[in-house]
């Protein structure tokens, strides 16, 4: 499982000219899966995201997590996180997970995040989406469960 997390002051996803999900302060996540991912990967990444202390405290120090600041999450599925660009100029996506399995894991991941009380907006798995965001900081963190 791979997740690219960006701390945002706002983010939205549009599908067919309609805003499908929108948040203010929080995290925008790009989420990808590979075959073999399961509950252990979801648990690990969920814990890491919820406990990530990248929001400023009263002293301006990155010391608060998303729950402490009342932030929200915009979660976007993105199989291209598993692009293999080692050969040629056209990426291969054979390392990306089976779409049926990945769709179930994406739904489970979002449900697991929301169960903690954090507001979670989403894109639509497999849809052509336009994502807009204001990266706050900028702060960008990458998680890869193959490298924990």
Give catalytic residues, as residue numbers. 78-80
Strand 2-15 relative to strand 18-23: parallel, antiparallel, unpaired? antiparallel
Residue 79: strand pairing partners = none
Cα-Cα-Cα-Cα dihedral sign, residues 50, 52, 53, 55: negative
Residue 29: strand pairing partners = 5, 75
What does the DSSP 8-state code read for residue 140? Answer: E
| Cα–Cα dist 127/120, whole Å | 18
Token pair of 70 as six digits? 């009342």
Strand 72-77 relative to strand 119-122: parallel, antiparallel, unpaired? parallel
Cα-Cα-Cα-Cα dihedral sign, residues 36, 86, 31, 129: negative
């Amino acid at each position: 499982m791979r997740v690219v997390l960006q701390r945002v002051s706002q983010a939205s996803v549009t599908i067919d000219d309609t805003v499908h999900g929108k948040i203010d302060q929080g995290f925008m996540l790009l989420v990808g899966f590979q075959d073999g991912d399961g509950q252990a990967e979801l648990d690990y990444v969920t814990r890491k995201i919820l406990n990530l202390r990248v929001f400023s405290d009263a002293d301006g120090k990155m010391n608060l997590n998303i729950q402490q600041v009342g932030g929200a999450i915009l979660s976007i599925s993105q199989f291209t996180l598993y692009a293999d660009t080692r050969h040629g100029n056209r990426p291969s996506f054979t390392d990306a997970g089976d779409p049926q399995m990945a769709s179930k894991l994406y739904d489970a991941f979002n449900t697991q995040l929301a169960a903690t009380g954090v507001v979670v907006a989403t894109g639509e798995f497999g849809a052509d989406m336009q994502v807009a965001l204001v990266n706050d900081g900028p702060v960008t963190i990458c998680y890869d469960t193959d490298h924990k």
